Amino acid sequence: MRKVLWSVLLCALLFAFPALCEDAYTLSIRDNPAAQTDKNYVRISCPLDEAGDVTVTVKDSSGSVVYQRYYPGCEGQFRSEDIYLKHGSSTASYSVEVSCGSTSYQSEIVLKTARIENNTACTAGYPLKSLNGKKSWLSVTFLDASALEGTYETFPVHVSNAYTLGNISFSVKNGSLRASYMPPESASVTVSSSSVHVALTSVDARALNTKSFHGIRSSLDTDIPLHGAEIVCVLVQLKVSYAPDGLEGSPDITQYGQQDRWDAMQNGTYSDSNG
């Protein structure tokens, strides 16, 4: 009998109080006609001038109602349940209205995607798994070093399997390769570490990102001698933190002309290894 009473009491408490999430943003709608947050959940707070029934309505930027709830018999300090609002892949805005009797309050809340910390990024070009058959999201970039002498070529950087995070510029001068990163200004990118691994043969290209790789290990903005190699395979990895709002989606992992360069590298390596 005692267990039954406790169960009934617990259910009553659950229905009496709004559902709350520990990591929710509290919008004091009466004091904030506009607000920003990077949290997924929002709770609405509002002091009521008179007792009454409260209706909370949330609309997205297109005017569609995404949340509406009627709270009967409220007085004093009103607090809604925690409301889930979808961020999407970029900034999203919602209009919020709290009405009680003849009084209503409105606010706009902008949801900014939280800053992403310590993710690995690399240049697009050619899937690494297509070289060695091993499961990997990484991609490598094939360069025609002989054609690149005295000039440069850029490739997009992809991160989080979702965004384009600027470009890497590859240049060759006097037979040495240099890789330089050009981040998008809006993303406030910080690079905590970088590596540039260069394979001069197809054998080393297949071994990239493994313990058996015996090619060149270097970093950004460093002159890397290519020892006369014409086609090289480069794996650039960056450890980055960034703000994703406004970034373009992930680029095509396989870039134009990369298959031809891989074929040429295999043929060149095969010819060299057979005299």
Give the per-residue pLDDT at 221.
Answer: 97
Give the per-residue pLDDT at 227.
Answer: 94
Query: CA-to-CA distance for 159 and 142, rounded, in angstroms?
Result: 19
Angle at 251 (CA atoms; ends 247, 257), nearest 5 degrees: 150
pLDDT digits 0-9 by tens, 210-252: 999 999 999 999 999 999 999 999 999 999 999 888 889 999 9
Write out the residue limits of the CATH 2.60.40.1930 domain(s) in the chain. 21-111
Give the per-residue pLDDT at 183.
Answer: 96
Q: Which residue's entry shows tokens 């190699």?
A: 229
Give the per-residue pLDDT at 234.
Answer: 98
Give the per-residue pLDDT at 6.
Answer: 43
- Listed residue (45, 92, 46, 90) closest to 66, CA to CA: 92
Q: Which residue's entry shows tokens 């406790």?
A: 6
- Listed residue (154, 169, 157, 181) closest to 249, CA to CA: 157
Q: Is the pTM of this model over 0.95?
A: no
Give the per-residue pLDDT at 9.
Answer: 42
Task: Report whether 162 contacts 181 (CB < 8 A).
Answer: no
Phi-psi region of 187 (alpha: psi -120 to 50; beta: other; left: phi over 0): alpha
Give the per-residue pLDDT at 88.
Answer: 62
- Listed residue (231, 241, 11) closest to 115, CA to CA: 241
Give the per-residue pLDDT at 186.
Answer: 87
Query: CA-to-CA distance for 143 and 229, rounded, in angstroms?
Result: 10
Which parts of the chain sit beneath pLDDT 70? 1-22, 88-90, 269-275
What CATH topology corresponds to 21-111? Immunoglobulin-like (2.60.40)
